[in-house]
Amino acid sequence: MAIYKIFPSKDASLYTISQSMNTGLDEILEASTAIQATKPQVSRYLLEFSQTEINNFVEKHISGSGVTRLVINDTGVGTGGEFLYDQDMAAGPTYPTSSDGISGQTLAVNNNLEFSIVPSSSFGDGYGQKFLVGLNSGYFIPGVDIVDDAVVSGSIPIGFAAADGTYGPFILSHVDGNLDLNRTTSSLSSSVNLTIENNTLVSAVIQNNGSASYVANDYYPVARGPLNDGGMGDLYISEATMDAAYPGVFTFSGPTDYRHFYFNINKIHTVTVPGFIRTLDSQGFKYKAGDKLVFPSQSFDPYPMSDDVSITLSSPTISGSNWEDVPAQYELLNSAAVVTGVQMDQTLKVYAVSGSWNMGTGKFSNNPVTTNGCSWIFRNYSGSNADGATTWQTSGTYGAYATSSYSSSDNAGGGNWYTGSALGLDIVKEQVFSYGNPIDVKVDVTNYIKTWYTASLVDAAKGFPNDGFLVKQSSSKEFINNLNTTATFRYFSVDTNTIYPPLLNMKWEDYYFTTGSSTNKILGSQESFMSIYNNDGTYYSGSVARFRIAAIPKYPDVVFQTASLYTTNFYLPENSSSYAIKDTDTNEFVIEFDDKYTNISADATSSYFDVYMNGLEPERYYTILIKTKLDGTTQIYDEDIMFKVING
């Protein structure tokens, strides 16, 4: 999984105590209520992240051609159903047409043969998606001699005789062990010719007397009967059938149970077709409409297909409902400078701002105050309407879903914000602060980001423009003239000289675990060594590093070999390993363990994870920690794996 961080493009605080004051360059953002001059004074703050940066992230990692992923059928994600597919069988005497050959029927789960496979090739850039392919139907192959599959009375010299020659075609019969029903191939125009020499069966060639030799899944499903042990089913030609076609030619003098030709059709003499194709797990990348994914026949050994199976990702083969955005989460992070008054629960609300605003260059301590940016009253700068100054709306008709909170003559202003969206998403979030709990702001703003990029990239009518976030106390605590309920919330701004500026934390699923042709094993021992074997030590702030993990047991199994036992790398367990990153000096997590978004991937080379350096403060050292579950125990490895991010 992956995490990408961006910093605000601008921020500012709004104060009732000086309603035209701009604080765009202040190092502190504030959302407090304080009693000053015998009355409550309120502050709120604004911060905005670049929509261009958000759009670039979304188009590269979340949504759009070559990014949007296939719906995962088996987890309930999305609305896609089973994929339509084609098996490129040629029409004619050898195989029927594709439409004849593909069965829409399925058997009960316990009768299906299911293969979890990744297509071996893709006509396009897509790779890595795992599919579940179910088999349940079979073909006879016309022209194939199945004599090696025969267990016939003629092979036991106790009374079978017939003149030399070729006889047939005979219809094959089958007794269904589950239903005890006698089924035949007569309706399917498939049969067999028998060649006899010296009272011995020497040839049994499958005939195709019609347009197809397809065997429906309720006749000879590949998942039933002896095919699981190498055969397709119990097929026979009875004495009565042979006598009806050739009276007196075939004579039997042995016991009744031996008066027929019996076949156990071998897998190499039949072919199968899929019953369904579904997606598995979230491991596909860069698929797009028009890609053709190919499942080679040999992928289904020991049940070979007549030909490769393919999926073409284009309408109408796959409808739009088979696509979905890559799952992602967005968090607003703001580190606390000073927070007081949480002896009782306090709440900060986060809204999407309605209306543009200007950051300005003021600070709270400036005297006289700076007025060239937003303030409690003004959105762009202080002044008159004639001078172009624009105030926050406090009355009248607001735009769709927009509002303001306070419109008295003394304190009108303080920003405008949205309470809903045309997408129907909840865009009013809050964080409750209580004594003894974390005081940093950490709010899930996924719905806000979806609304913004929908308006920007898809349809402006379905969202609203990105004018940033407004953070304020709940209405039940603002403007309350009571010292007992006041609270101070001061946070570091983008202009801080510390390592704690506000961040938009963008997390998405890029987990990939396909080891390909690698023969390396999965690590299972709790006592193991862990390291990053390709750590360069220093990285530029705009780079993306793929860290590869070297994992070996401390006490490997003893085997007789000439090479060292410590040269073989191991994979970390699938879906149970993650990473975290700490600031080395402060020992604070800058990327926390996350079972969903910092999950460790694997390819044919090793286990690995990607780190986007842009969200890490430059000119600092960082330490990597690795968490994994081994033998039922969760282990965290802190092996002093460090690197430095530098400007550049």
Of 12-16, 178-182, 280-284, 469-473, the range with the lowest mean pLDDT is 178-182
How large a percentage of the chain has pLDDT more than 90? 45
> Model confidence over 95-139: pLDDT tens digits?
333 333 222 233 333 445 666 777 766 677 777 777 777 765 556
User: What's the pLDDT band for 295 if we cut at 50, 70, 90?
Assistant: confident
3-class DSSP state of 73: helix
- By the 10 Å C-beta count (0-12 exposed, 13-18 middle, 19+ buried), 232 is classed as buried
Residues 180, 93 within the same domain: yes
Do the beta carbons of residue 237 and residue 261 sit within 8 Å? yes
User: What's the pLDDT band for 580 if we cut at 50, 70, 90?
Assistant: very high
The last residue of one of the domains, among 476, 506, 536, is: 506
- Kindly tell me if the per-residue pLDDT of 601 is higher than 70: yes
Task: Work out the average pLDDT over 163-183.
Answer: 67
How much of the chain is helix, strand and coil, in % rounded to 5?
15, 40, 50
Task: Work out the average pLDDT over 72-96.
Answer: 47
DSSP state of 297: G
User: What's the pLDDT band for 209 if we cut at 50, 70, 90?
Assistant: low
pLDDT at 165: 95
Of 62-66, 71-75, 303-307, 490-494, the range with the lowest mean pLDDT is 71-75
The helix (run of H) or strand (run of E) holding residue 453 is: helix 446-457
pTM of the model: 0.75
- Kindly tell me if the per-residue pLDDT of 90 is higher than 60: no
DSSP state of 392: P
Which amino acid, residue 183?
A: R
pLDDT at 316: 35
pLDDT at 159: 66
Residues 476, 590 within the same domain: no
pLDDT at 87: 54
Q: Which residue has the higher pLDDT, 280 or 613?
A: 613
Residues 54, 77 within the same domain: no
- Kindly tell me if the per-residue pLDDT of 263 is higher than 80: no
pLDDT at 98: 32
pLDDT at 109: 39
> Which tokens is 552 given?
């070996």
Residues 94, 46 within the same domain: no
> Model confidence over 264-273: pLDDT tens digits?
766 566 666 6
How is 345-391 classified by DSSP, letter by letter? -EEEEEEEE-S-----S--TT-SSPP-SS--SSBSS-SS-GGGT--B
Backbone angles phi, psi at 41, to 5 degrees: -115, 135
Alpha helices in 176-262 (DSSP H): 239-245
Q: Which residue has the higher pLDDT, 407 or 491?
A: 491
pLDDT at 253: 78
> Model confidence over 354-386: pLDDT tens digits?
999 999 999 999 999 999 999 999 999 999 988
Do the beta carbons of residue 168 and residue 194 sit within 8 Å? yes
What are residue 633's DSSP bridge partners? 630
pLDDT at 586: 95
Of 311-325, 337-351, 407-421, 462-476, the range with the lowest mean pLDDT is 311-325
Do the beta carbons of residue 514 and residue 622 sit within 8 Å? no
Domain count, the chain: 3
- Kindly tell me if the per-residue pLDDT of 216 is higher than 50: no
> Which tokens is 41 given?
């004074």
> Which tokens is 144 given?
């194939």
> Which tokens is 248 given?
């007196």
CA 113, distance to chain mean position in Å, is: 25
Residues 305, 447 within the same domain: no
Do the beta carbons of residue 427 and residue 349 sit within 8 Å? no
> Model confidence over 603-648: pLDDT tens digits?
989 999 999 998 899 999 999 999 999 888 999 999 999 999 999 7
pLDDT at 182: 41
pLDDT at 134: 73
pLDDT at 228: 37
pLDDT at 85: 60
Question: Is it true that the peptide bond before 255 is cis, omega within 30 degrees of 0?
Answer: no
- Kindly tell me if the per-residue pLDDT of 318 is higher than 60: no
Residues 252, 229 within the same domain: yes
pLDDT at 93: 35
Pairing mode, strands 260-266 and 231-238:
antiparallel
Residues 39, 169 within the same domain: no
The last residue of one of the domains, among 262, 296, 324, is: 324
Do the beta carbons of residue 290 and residue 311 sit within 8 Å? no
**CATH label of the domain that carries residue 522:** 2.60.40.2840
Residues 264, 184 within the same domain: yes
Average per-residue pLDDT in the chain? 80
Residues 523, 502 within the same domain: no
pLDDT at 148: 81
Please give the Cα distance from 278 to 584 (Å, whole number). Answer: 45
Q: If you search the block for the tokens 């735009």, which residue do you land on?
A: 399
Q: Which of 625, 523, 517, 632 is nearest to 574 (CA)?
A: 523
- Kindly tell me if the per-residue pLDDT of 319 is higher than 50: no
> Which tokens is 294 given?
């190919």
Q: Which residue has the higher pLDDT, 230 or 36?
A: 36
Residues 123, 225 within the same domain: yes
CA angle 576, 580, 586 (to 5 degrees): 155
Q: Which of 472, 389, 453, 429 is nearest to 46 (CA)?
A: 472
Q: Which residue has the higher pLDDT, 374 or 308?
A: 374
pLDDT at 623: 98
Q: Which of 2, 5, 10 is nearest to 493 (CA)?
A: 10
Task: Work out the average pLDDT over 211-237.
Answer: 45
Sign of the CA dihedral 641, 586, 497, 47?
Answer: positive
DSSP state of 58: I
Q: Which residue has the higher pLDDT, 15 or 142?
A: 15
> Model confidence over 513-529: pLDDT tens digits?
888 788 899 998 888 88
Q: Which residue has the higher pLDDT, 64 or 449?
A: 449
- Kindly tell me if the per-residue pLDDT of 226 is higher than 50: no
Q: Which of 299, 122, 141, 121 is nearest to 220 (CA)?
A: 141
Residues 49, 102 within the same domain: no
Q: Which of 54, 33, 52 is nearest to 42 (CA)?
A: 33
Pairing mode, strands 538-540 and 577-583:
unpaired
> Model confidence over 22-43: pLDDT tens digits?
999 999 999 999 998 788 999 9
Q: Which residue has the higher pLDDT, 161 or 322?
A: 161
Question: Residue 52's CB: how many other CB atoms inside 10 A?
Answer: 11
The last residue of one of the domains, among 324, 353, 379, is: 324
Which amino acid, residue 621?
A: Y
pLDDT at 396: 85
pLDDT at 308: 73
Residues 120, 242 within the same domain: yes
pLDDT at 513: 85
pLDDT at 223: 40
- Kindly tell me if the per-residue pLDDT of 320 is higher than 90: no
The helix (run of H) or strand (run of E) holding residue 547 is: strand 544-553
Please give the Cα distance from 163 to 88 (Å, whole number). Answer: 43
Do the beta carbons of residue 22 and residue 370 sit within 8 Å? yes
- Kindly tell me if the per-residue pLDDT of 89 is higher than 90: no
Task: Work out the average pLDDT over 395-415.
Answer: 83
Instruction: Name the residue range of residue 436's domain.
Output: 2-61+330-506
